[in-house]
Structure 1
Amino acid sequence: MLEERAGTTGPNWTLAYDSFEPEQEGLREALTSTGNGYFCTRGTLAWAEADGVSYPGTYTHGGFNRETTIMNGVPVLNEDLVNLPNWLLLELRIEGEEAVDMSNVELLSYRHEYDVRNAALRRVSRFRDRAGRETTLETRRFVSMADMHQAAMQWTVTPENWSGRVEVISSLDGRVTNGGVARYSRLEGRHLDPVSPRTFGPEIIALEARTRQSRIYVAEAARTRVYGEDGGVLDVRRGLYQMQDYIHQVLSFEVEEGRPARIEKMVSFYTSRDSAINEPLTNAGKAVGRYGTYEEAFERHARAWDELWDVCDVLVPRDDRVQLLLRLHISHVLQVCSPHTADLDAGVPARGLNGEAYRGHIFWDELFIYPFLNFRLPEITRGLLMYRYRRLNEARAAAKEAGYEGAMYPWQSGSDGQEETQTVHLNPKSGRWEPDLSHNQRHVSADIFYNIWRYYEATGDFEFLLDYGAEMMLDIARFWASIAHYNPERDRYEIHGVMGPDEFHEKYPGSDEEGLRNNAYTNVMVAWLSEISLEVLDLLTERHRKALSARIGLTDDEVGTLEEMSRKMFVPFHGDGIVSQFEGYEDLEELDWESYREKYGNIQRLDRILKAEGDDPDKYKLTKQADAVLLFFLFPSDVLRRLFERLGYDYEPEMVRKNVDYYDGRTSHGSTLSFIAHAGILAGIHPESSWTRYMVALESDVGDVQGGTTQEGIHMGVMAGTLDLIQRGYLGTEIRDGTLYFDPKPVGNLDGLSFPMRFRGTPLEVTLEGGELRVAAQADGLNQPVKVGVNGTVEEIEAGESHTFVL
């Protein structure tokens, strides 16, 4: 049973389960993962191996490996985020009997708690073994936010009705494979080769492995000690066993009835991708030898988290459930994207660092993740955008190979930025492998452009724009200028052969040609970025503009084409103001939605259902997730109105409602991101409906609404999207001409809402209460005044001052 309880610093800091349920363990492992923005480990039982109930997994940014699978005689190449050696392993043996696990003891009580504030895991198990001995075992663990290379576990063993000898087996296991996603089971899961185990003195064991193709060395070292009731280190007998890819120590000692013994396993984690190291194994062994006790390390870890909560917490005092889930989402976002991440060559895996879904690849989910970070920890966004910049040459090569100019980023990216989208995927409904054409989602390049510009607007980081951002943006614009073609009959520019965010439509029914014509989302984004490209050029000095143009090959003709595209992109419409998802969408067949709901219940993945029936989703007016309507989410109404009018199309106030109504009835919401977009759009149209969608998104990972997907990795986009919806959707945050505007919506239980944010270097505290919006600018001696607008009123707020707007 899922339970929430109040913490000492406010309500709902703890996610807790009060029973052990094997069928739920995979989900709970993902939700209670511990990470620090460098590496992350699933919340698995310490003694568990991959057995169909538990799935231990440790992952680090950039830890990719590419392997080939022979499928029906055809080589299929895939790159995966590698499951790295398991550092968790601790086992307990009592009087020489088999090690304790959930299958050989009677559980008398059980508690699995996740401390959201400190991303720390605690389990308390009270059990009776086959000899009638009753024992309480409390286990705690964290991955340090203070020391990026440190993790720690603490066990407290209390014999309740017995005394005797116990053995604790402390292991490092490199025999792991990638096997956390059932539909990938036929793909090669071996990614590690053993290098060597070793010891550093009597207390420390260490293990090094290497990824098979990418040749990344990964080292872990563990120091295990036993402490008595008085806190002193016990003198224990130690035994050692090791193989090429596995090493363990056996610690033997006596325990007395009613007197707890404490076992601490301190762990260090290094890879050959790290900075300022000699080599991973030596550094791991050296580091773990210097670590203090668990409590000392946890104190530093908790202080580091306190600093993050000071700038990231979102307070919703009148809804405890919303409060808990928002904080859970903040915690998970920061475990994947922390200040440690800013110094790494890292993108954001769509499913975080606690599962293997999507093979750990980086998609367009950044679009939903960066807005929360931009206003709180922009240095993290900056570092993540550098992941894209470092792969700019690969994007250029992809464009050139396809016959285009500029930079064409891949739909799925991994280690070096080449296209990692699989060519086939398994349909779990039919058990058949089917072609995958999703690499045609070229809109990812437009999304990256959008992310760079939004980062610049929020931070004013002109140095980044000058050194990196403008180059990416203009080369992306050059790609769109080359893939678009002018249709003289329409006097419009068109884009063919692409897919939109929908993903249910890969091509026209019965066609052998991949892609669609004039996806509305893509075309409108391209019209917008064409105009912004001209603005970027105007921001540069003449010297920088000439140098950059020469470096990337930007010509006056291309600039002229971009100006024309900003006015003449074709946008398909049908009916009364309905934006067609793509050209020809209105000619598709309607689907009998009710019959499919009645037959299948959950029809979020209609594409799999239809294909399993031998049908074709390309035939129907259906949508996996927000596509055309996503435009109304990403752009404020005044921006979209100006954009459509610049293109020569009418934009009526009712257009938003009409399009949401039309597509809502034809959308399966097969991605939880879809609920985010629809909730954001509906905030100003139908607040009650918006809040209902919002709660679905907020509960989606905890409740595993997609039926088993969360255990494969949390959904970073929806978690960060629920946070962005508070600031952007419900408080109506928007930046125009260097002014931060708010337009609060009367949605949900948000009275009393408050949160910190940072706008162009100035820390702000925003509070919504009693029909008033208060914005306070903090004073630290460095901050500039900020302009804040509400309801047509713009105020300049000096550092140390505040202003209250009456709504």
Structure 2
Amino acid sequence: MKNMKFDAVIFDLDGVITQTASLHSLAWKQMFDNYLKKHSKKTGKKFREFTHEKDYLSYVDGKPRYKGVKSFLESRDIKLPYGIPSDLPNKETVCGLGNKKNKLFNELIISKGVDVFSSTVELIKKLQKKGVKIGVASSSKNCKSILESAGLLELFETRVDGVVSAELNLKGKPEPDIFKTACDNLNVTYDRAVVVEDAVSGVIAGKNGHFGLVIGVARENNKKELKIHGADIVVDDLKKISIEKINDWFVNGINKDRWSISYYDYSKEKETTVESLLTIGNGYFGTRGAMEEFKSNDFSYPGTYIAGVYNTLESEVKNRIVKNEDFVNCPNWTFTTFKIKNSSWFNLSDYKIIDIKRTLNFKTGILKKTMVVKDKKNRKTLIESERFACMHNIHTAGLKYKIKPLNYSEKIYIKTSLDANIINYGVKRYRQLSSKHLEHISEGADYRRETDLTENYLFVKTNQSDIKIAEFAKIKAFLGNDLIKKEPKIRVKKGVVDTIIEIDCNKGNEVTVEKIVSIYTSEHESESLIEKGKAVLSEIKNYKTLKERSIVSWGKIWEKADIKLAGDRYIQKLLRMHIYHLFVTSSPNSAHLKASIPARGLHGEAYRGHIFWDTIYILPFFNIHYPEISKSALMYRYERLNQARKYAKEHGYEGAMFPWQSGKSGKEETQTMHLNPMSGKWGPDYSSLQRHVSLATAYNIWNYYWTTLDKEFIREYGAEMLFEICRFWLSKAEKTTDNRYSIKKIMGPDEFHEHVSGSEEEGLEDNFYTNVMASWTFSRAVDIINELGEDKNKIFEKINLSEKEIQKWKRVSESLKLNISENGIFEQFKGYFKLKEIDWDMYKKQYDNIQRMDRILKAEGKSADEYKVAKQADVLMTFYNLSSKQVKEVLNKLKYKPVENFLKKNFEYYVKRTSHGSTLSKVVHSYLLNLIGKKDLSYKFYVDALESDYVDVQGGTTGEGIHTGVMAGTIIVAIKSYAGLDLNDDIIKINPDLPKTWKKIEFNIRFRDATYFFKIDKQNIKIQILGNEKKEIKIGDNIHVIEPKSLIDDTWEIFKRGIKHAR
């Protein structure tokens, strides 16, 4: 076969090559049953035998021997000393039992011999004829002797087994070490290698290693389990795998995988996380990926969130009245279910899910579900559904729901609804609070016989903010391809409109319901919402047309925003997942809303849908791809500038003080008291003292302008905001006896430290991050004044700003106080160096998770204020925002002389004292590790951040909403750290430093008046520019001039290590 797309196949031994898995299972059983009987006599506990299904497959299959012993014993709550590998087989230690099993296994090999799977051997020989390299990777220390007994040893170019693993100190499955080592021995990259496994632990190892293809061999009738845990292709025998099929995966299958996430199971424990990650949206609204058949319960949570739709309610909590503004869960437009004749509607008590697959396609924005269910009468039904939030017209959405009886003929009912009888229930810790936000206005339905079309509407409002919400739906039903002409049953109740389609359906026939929906709110529309919704749907020909328009619109977004990565499909998938969810939250088609970007997206109710400082991570992504989205987020701040002025004045300050948490009005939404969930006690909440949110706004204004040179924005809006922020910081700075200025009563990004230990006064003094960023902000304001020229006079007059006041900015910007130790460590805040050290090792042993050390300490009657412990980067955050050169410039201006390698020294000091209680922390630390040359650790932190939502690293938080700051931050780190893009000067600089597994990265950015296209691999940098003028780019140490184009074509400027190489 020509053009082979893969280079090696690594086979597991037991159950894949040889039929020794049954012998292993038998040896384990003999050993454990013997031990368990002795244990039963000793303890008096009832003897429970070791079984193949429950014990072998669950705890020991595929794992290194001693790890398998330990895993099984833990499952029975039995504790034994670990021992040493040389323990005799009769010794009751983990190693002793493992050695006893090995002795029994070897005896079975001698007595029974080794059988091989002929189909596997046949495939290996075919692969070798095509030049494909072959390896074997096994946890077994008997691998070599087994292969020799079977006469197969010579087939393998490399063998990584239990013996080799012990010599090289490799981790066992589910870690990918043995498979990676096999690839390294064969000189093959992981993305062009295939892993073949029969055990769940081995399949997980293949997935964890990011290999090009993982094939699961289901010898144990475990196809579903292997698929759930990461197998790309599952067969019951390798005779069903051909070289052509493998090659096709690398041509077509892997590309689909890079553009999607799929789930092959339904788990109540994980369902809310899955629902968040399967959210569809378009920047106007987001709808969680809950199954259509479910309403809100403890394990599933449908939700639709519309940008800017907030509502405030009072609640009584522990004898206190508290007010909370919430992100409102709006009427559910997706609810659709079915029943068979007189049975109950679909539910998990009466039906069993036999098979399920849910896939979200990032490229098209379409969520699909295929599910087979069985009722108590053994009637099997296939359900297929798809849904999308239209990216072309952001007020519309579509849902298709299809039913097929697989083994019966019967009357089928399908019910689809608009439902406003819902509450906010998505965050467990908020459930004790008032949560009913929607108030009924009206609803209605109409069946049009001439078109066999059902039209429904629902009209509600929020009960405090008085935002009106209208949903309108058009519904058609089909039997096969024929329109069902029978009038459906329509039930109109207060807050709910149900449409029920009834049809006699034969086995194998399909019933399909197509539903297109419009959503409007008075927050963004002044016209009659019902008529508006009805009119927009009348313009849509059908479901298919709406879907196609949405796909085209998504395609245009991806043309500008995609990052193409070769070498690691898992990283590629997650990068695209992050890009997708950012556009679900805010899109170019929703930029006119000026609704900003919630920290948890349009995906859930955590953080109450509020706007925080996270935009400091988010806007750099939009600046270079869709700057109109960044402008929209900044206009959100501008339209609430008067509220920020009022907030500052209320606290005795001048200018504009933006709130830590901002929602509908722009007033401070942060609580002043906090109920500690671990101690159950109320305490003061100083979170609102994180005044650095105003610095984030200033930073965002400057960087938007720097990237776009949008002088109209600066002239009309940006400069005014920036100047008012400077006024605030000027009024906050207090002159000291040594002619410097201090800033008090604030909190830094750390969040754990709320006030100086031993002091009753709220807040901290002279936080390094705050003071440096304030100085930097003053300087940028002066730069803006110079940029404005005569245009500044209009702004000065509008806000009564004088040259005298600007001179004060300059004076304060040169005199802010910092505390720096003799060895160059920047003190996080005044008094930090006097705090106690924390015993990290002790707490790690005591608690499974120490990310929220503040809560752990409070529950112990202590306070994080007493310790050198940070939730996330604080001092180090300065270096995420500003380059070392920029920080040095600020320090010099402040008349401080930093020591050599000040970034490295401060990083090493503070990273040891950080709990990473926010996933943002890993983004910052990854970026900084790369700067100081710790490449491998940087990439580890990067992957941790990249997969934090995907694997729900914080144990449930993703189910409450994704983390937009982390998602945007990981994209920016890929571009800045690894592609090496630097936009800090007028000339773009690029100095790539790709991680080991990344072969190539492709992306484009918009910078000022041109669009730049980059293709970067280990040797070359290829560049094209769309624009009107030639541009200088600094590659490495050399500056090159590149001519612009009017269209992108196949001719690239190619550079090698900073030297022009070819064209």
Q: TM-score over 0.5 for the alignment?
A: yes
Letter in 1 for 2:664: S
| Residue from 491, 494, 501 that aligns with 2:749 | 501
Q: State the match for 1:622 in structure 2.
A: 869
| Residue from 143, 146, 159 that aligns with 2:392 | 146
Q: State the match for 1:459 in structure 2.
A: 708
1:77-88 → structure 2 map (5 Å cutoff) = 77-88=323-334
Q: State the match for 1:45 in structure 2.
A: 291
| Residue from 472, 479, 483 that aligns with 2:732 | 483
1:129 matched to 2:378? The reply is no
1:237 matched to 2:494? The reply is no
Q: State the match for 2:1036 in structure 1.
A: 791
The CA distance in 2 between the partners of 1:500 and 1:804, in whole Å, is: 45
Bigger shift: 429-438 or 106-115? 429-438
The CA distance in 1 between the partners of 2:504 and 2:593, in whole Å, is: 45
- On the 8 A contact 1:774/1:805 being kept in 2, the answer is yes
1:189-588 → structure 2 map (5 Å cutoff) = 189-202=435-448, 203-229=454-480, 231-275=481-525, 278-489=527-738, 491-542=739-790, 544-588=791-835
- After TM superposition, give the deviation of residue 603 of structure 1 in Å: 0.5
1:722 matched to 2:970? The reply is yes
- Measured on the aligned residues, the alpha-carbon RMSD in Å equals 1.7
- On the 8 A contact 1:197/1:247 being kept in 2, the answer is yes
User: Deviation string for 1:699-735 (max 9, x for gaps)?
Assistant: 1001111111000000000011110111122233333
Letter in 1 for 2:272: G
- On the 8 A contact 1:200/1:206 being kept in 2, the answer is no
The CA distance in 2 between the partners of 1:732 and 1:481, in whole Å, is: 36
Task: Flag structure 1 segments of 5+ consecutive residues without an equivalent.
Answer: none
Letter in 1 for 2:522: S
| Residue from 645, 650, 665 that aligns with 2:892 | 645
Secondary structure of 1:573's counterpart equals coil
1:50-69 → structure 2 map (5 Å cutoff) = 50-69=296-315
Q: State the match for 1:634 in structure 2.
A: 881
Structure having the higher helix fraction is 2
- On the 8 A contact 1:204/1:289 being kept in 2, the answer is no
Secondary structure of 2:983's counterpart equals strand
Letter in 1 for 2:772: V
The CA distance in 2 between the partners of 1:233 and 1:163, in whole Å, is: 20
The CA distance in 2 between the partners of 1:102 and 1:134, in whole Å, is: 14
1:97 matched to 2:339? The reply is no
Letter in 1 for 2:508: G
- On the 8 A contact 1:687/1:745 being kept in 2, the answer is no
| Residue from 931, 941, 951 that aligns with 1:684 | 931
- On the 8 A contact 1:691/1:748 being kept in 2, the answer is no
| Residue from 412, 426, 429 that aligns with 1:183 | 429
- After TM superposition, give the deviation of residue 94 of structure 1 in Å: 0.8
The CA distance in 2 between the partners of 1:176 and 1:714, in whole Å, is: 22
Q: State the match for 1:666 in structure 2.
A: 913
The CA distance in 2 between the partners of 1:534 and 1:494, in whole Å, is: 21
Letter in 1 for 2:302: P
Letter in 1 for 2:673: V
- On the 8 A contact 2:336/2:401 being kept in 1, the answer is no
Secondary structure of 1:136's counterpart equals strand
- On the 8 A contact 2:260/2:361 being kept in 1, the answer is yes
The CA distance in 2 between the partners of 1:702 and 1:306, in whole Å, is: 24
The CA distance in 1 between the partners of 2:538 and 2:380, in whole Å, is: 34
The CA distance in 2 between the partners of 1:513 and 1:318, in whole Å, is: 54
- On the 8 A contact 2:416/2:499 being kept in 1, the answer is yes
- After TM superposition, give the deviation of residue 420 of structure 1 in Å: 0.7
1:602 matched to 2:853? The reply is no
Letter in 1 for 2:783: E
- After TM superposition, give the deviation of residue 293 of structure 1 in Å: 2.9
- On the 8 A contact 1:683/1:747 being kept in 2, the answer is no
Distance 1:702 1:634, change over 3 A: same
- After TM superposition, give the deviation of residue 387 of structure 1 in Å: 0.3
Secondary structure of 1:568's counterpart equals coil
The CA distance in 2 between the partners of 1:339 and 1:102, in whole Å, is: 40
Bigger shift: 431-440 or 52-61? 431-440
The CA distance in 1 between the partners of 2:254 and 2:902, in whole Å, is: 48
Secondary structure of 1:122's counterpart equals strand
Secondary structure of 1:22's counterpart equals coil
Computing the radius of gyration over CA atoms, which structure comes out larger, 1 or 2?
Answer: 2
The CA distance in 2 between the partners of 1:751 and 1:289, in whole Å, is: 49
Q: State the match for 1:591 in structure 2.
A: 838
The CA distance in 2 between the partners of 1:232 and 1:725, in whole Å, is: 52
The CA distance in 1 between the partners of 2:268 and 2:985, in whole Å, is: 55
Letter in 1 for 2:992: P
The CA distance in 1 between the partners of 2:457 and 2:681, in whole Å, is: 43
* Identity across matched positions, percent: 38
The CA distance in 2 between the partners of 1:449 and 1:739, in whole Å, is: 23
Letter in 1 for 2:763: G
Letter in 2 for 1:397: K
- After TM superposition, give the deviation of residue 364 of structure 1 in Å: 0.4
Q: Which has the higher contact order (CA 8 A, sep 6+)?
A: 1
- After TM superposition, give the deviation of residue 244 of structure 1 in Å: 2.0
User: Deviation string for 1:124-162 (max 9, x for gaps)?
Assistant: 111211222111111111111111111111112111111
User: Deviation string for 1:547-604 (max 9, x for gaps)?
Assistant: 2112112222321111112221111222511111111100000000111000002101
- After TM superposition, give the deviation of residue 796 of structure 1 in Å: 3.1
The CA distance in 2 between the partners of 1:27 and 1:320, in whole Å, is: 22
- After TM superposition, give the deviation of residue 510 of structure 1 in Å: 3.2
- On the 8 A contact 1:679/1:693 being kept in 2, the answer is yes
The CA distance in 1 between the partners of 2:814 and 2:256, in whole Å, is: 52
1:697 matched to 2:697? The reply is no
- After TM superposition, give the deviation of residue 237 of structure 1 in Å: 3.4
| Residue from 651, 656, 659 that aligns with 2:903 | 656
- After TM superposition, give the deviation of residue 802 of structure 1 in Å: 5.1
The CA distance in 1 between the partners of 2:441 and 2:984, in whole Å, is: 55
The CA distance in 2 between the partners of 1:364 and 1:217, in whole Å, is: 29
1:708 matched to 2:956? The reply is yes
- After TM superposition, give the deviation of residue 11 of structure 1 in Å: 4.7
The CA distance in 2 between the partners of 1:424 and 1:241, in whole Å, is: 46
Bigger shift: 240-249 or 383-392? 240-249
- After TM superposition, give the deviation of residue 8 of structure 1 in Å: 7.7
The number of equivalent residue pairs is: 800
- After TM superposition, give the deviation of residue 746 of structure 1 in Å: 4.7
- On the 8 A contact 1:200/1:285 being kept in 2, the answer is no
- After TM superposition, give the deviation of residue 509 of structure 1 in Å: 2.1
